[in-house]
Amino acid sequence: MRKSLGVSLAMALLMSMVAIGAGPASAAGGTTCTKLVGVVGTITPGLPPLSSSALVTKVVTKASGSFAGCTGGGVTAGKFSLASTPSKTPGNCKTLLQPDKSGPTAGTGSITWTPKGSSTFSFKLLKTTPPSTSQVFSAKITGGLFKGLTATQKFTFTAVPKTGCVSTPLSKVTVAPKTPLVIK
């Protein structure tokens, strides 16, 4: 579940995905992307709220969005999508911010670059200390443009609606960057 929470963060991952998209840096120094646009993540099944003792597993987080303000690497923007692998650890909103003993939320995604090109990547969502709604997106470009480079970005996620985790299941989040996406 914590992993699915990580999936929630996968939403953030979505943002991270954006970070990966921003990662189309060339071997000559990489790229940095400063803007994330319209990053939305979905969590299926939704995480039970704080008032519930119910736990869910096999949670999958999906995210998509765009990034802009990219400098370096011959790219200016990109559109991405990503999905986590199903979680193995039972969880809910109470366990969302706790470390997952089975490992961080992980998955794969793709980016379509502007002005041209595409990339595939594998990612992990790393929790921050102390626990918070901030996470670090860490990805390896596995194919296409910028293959072999690493992308990182710190982001934060917010429940939509704001009652998510409070009185309703957490099934949707928006993501905002805390740092630029850096690919090198």
- Residue pLDDT, tens place only, 49-60: 999 999 999 999
pTM of the model: 0.82
**Domain enclosing residue 76, as ranges:** 2-183
Please report which confidence band the pLDDT of residue 4 belongs to, taking 50, 70 and 90 as the band edges. very low
CA distance 44 to 103: 19
Other Cβ atoms less than 10 A from the Cβ of 49: the count is 18
Other Cβ atoms less than 10 A from the Cβ of 177: the count is 23
Quick one: DSSP state of residue 184? -
Structural domains in the chain (count): 1
Please report which confidence band the pLDDT of residue 29 belongs to, taking 50, 70 and 90 as the band edges. low
Please say whether the beta carbons of 136 and 124 come within 8 A.
no
Please say whether the beta carbons of 5 and 126 come within 8 A.
no
Question: HSE (CB half, 13 Å, CA atoms) of 87?
Answer: 33
- Residue pLDDT, tens place only, 58-94: 999 999 999 899 998 999 999 999 999 999 889 999 9
CA distance 94 to 6: 13
Please say whether the beta carbons of 12 and 155 come within 8 A.
yes
3-class SS of residue 19: helix
- Residue pLDDT, tens place only, 83-124: 999 998 899 999 988 877 788 899 999 999 999 989 999 999
Q: Minimal CA–CA distance to 114: which of 182, 151, 68? A: 68
CA distance 116 to 180: 21
CA distance 92 to 54: 7
83, β-bridge pairs: 62, 108
Identify the H or E element spanning 29: none
CA distance 22 to 121: 12
